[in-house]
Homo-oligomer: A and B are copies of this chain.
Amino acid sequence: MKLIGMLDSPYVRRTAISLKKMGVPFALDQLSVFGGFDAFEAVNPAVKAPTLVTDEGEVLMDSSLIIDFAKRRLATTEEPDGTTSALAHHHRVLALALVASEKSIQVVYERSLRPAERMHLPWLERVERQLASTYKLLETEYGNGASEKAPEDLSQPNIMSAVAWRFSREMIPDLVREQDHPALAAHSARCEATPEFKAYPYPTG
């Protein structure tokens, strides 16, 4: 199987770390949806990262769907299912981390993909307000011990929260400050120290 995308995308990094955690073998092909648009388009005309090409040649997209497919069909380890309220809470924290990523990406796109005179401040302010609220909720979750079992428990909420946090800190450090989110910063540090995160590091330098 081949996973296509750059590790500076939180969705690509989430997927790579999750597949490794599950023991699913794959090769990472770091094509960019920007610099490598045409090459990416040749594999997946929708040009959406991450893209997973299965051994049978099926072209999948969407980090949540790729992980669900791997979990149900390919994983050698299985996450416990838990109770109904545990599942609801698991999904809530995962969704907060997904929204934190999405809003961070919207800010980055608005700032970097268009010339300054095409930026629209009311839109940016709206997205930044959602971003701040989301990270505040996530900090509360982690402050209340959501990741107590990390790094042993690289659950989907724990992976996605740590990946989102690192991405935001790298790309929009002015909007997401460590001193306001000590629990998330500590969670991130624990996760980044695991073999899975080290195998697929955020690209720096």
Contact = CB atoms under 8 A, between A and B. Distances in A.
A73 B49 CA distance: 30
Nearest to A62: B95
A74 to B, nearest CB: 8
Interface of A: 37, 41, 45-48, 54, 56, 58-62, 64-66, 68-69, 72-73, 81, 84-85, 87-89, 91-92, 94-96, 98-99, 113-115, 117-120, 123, 126, 129-130, 133-134, 136-137
Contacts of A61: 92, 95-96, 98-99
Contacts of A98: 61-62, 65
A129 to B, nearest CB: 8
Contacts of A81: 72
8 contacts: A47-B133, A56-B85, A60-B95, A61-B99, A66-B91, A72-B81, A72-B87, A114-B123
A88 B60 contact: yes
Contacts of A92: 58-61
Contact of A134 (B45, B117, B118, B119): B45
Query: How many copies of this chain are found per oligomer?
Result: 2
Given A130-B46, A130-B48, A120 B118 contact: yes
Given A46-B133, A73-B84, 12 more contacts: A41-B133, A45-B133, A47-B133, A48-B95, A56-B88, A58-B88, A59-B92, A62-B91, A62-B95, A65-B94, A72-B81, A72-B87
Contact of A60 (B59, B64, B91): B91
A91 B69 contact: yes
Nearest to A137: B45
Nearest to A135: B46
A61 B64 CA distance: 13
A60 B88 CA distance: 7
Q: Could you say which of A61, A95, A113 has the most chain B C-beta atoms within 10 Å of its C-beta?
A: A95
